[in-house]
Chains A and B, each alone.
Chain A
Amino acid sequence: DAGVTQSPTHLIKTRGQQVTLRCSPISGHKSVSWYQQVLGQGPQFIFQYYEKEERGRGNFPDRFSARQFPNYSSELNVNALLLGDSALYLCASTTSGGGNSPLHFGNGTRLTVT
């Protein structure tokens, strides 16, 4: 079975640019979450979506936005990139929006902002 897939795997952008990251959840999973992981730290929660609706938002500026599509895939958009946005962006899926299911992660998109 395919796990969570993310694209692209690596990305280099310049300050001020915009970026879109993509995620396909495990088949049958309806909830997608996005996390940011800075080198040497644990993942930090950005968003959670379930059935195309935003169910949670972390402490990130409005430059960060996301959406979920009818096939449960998701996109994360970051506008006006800053150097501090350089990180590994992880997508995770679960079977439902509020249960005890663990997060299943993809291998992330490594974003470098120069």
Chain B
Amino acid sequence: EAGVAQSPRYKIIEKRQSVAFWCNPISGHATLYWYQQILGQGPKLLIQFQNNGVVDDSQLPKDRFSAERLKGVDSTLKIQPAKLEDSAVYLCASSSLSGRETQYFGPGTRLLVL
């Protein structure tokens, strides 16, 4: 069974530029999560999707971050414009059914904002 796929693996941008990350969850997983992991900290949930719908986006900085999950499969997370403090690893995870099961994480995208 293929794991959660993410791309790109690394991205370096200037502040105020925009960037997008892509995630392909494990096949059949209805629930998809985006986390932000700042160096030296644990992952923090940004947004949770159940199929196409948003379950929780309470910690998503909506003035600059957006996410979508078209057709209930792949998802993209966008930052526009980026700030220095957005430098982090962005992790995508997925779980089956209701989201109360084990979350499987992808390798993450490491973002550096200069």
A binds B: no
Interface residues of B (CB under 8 A from A): none
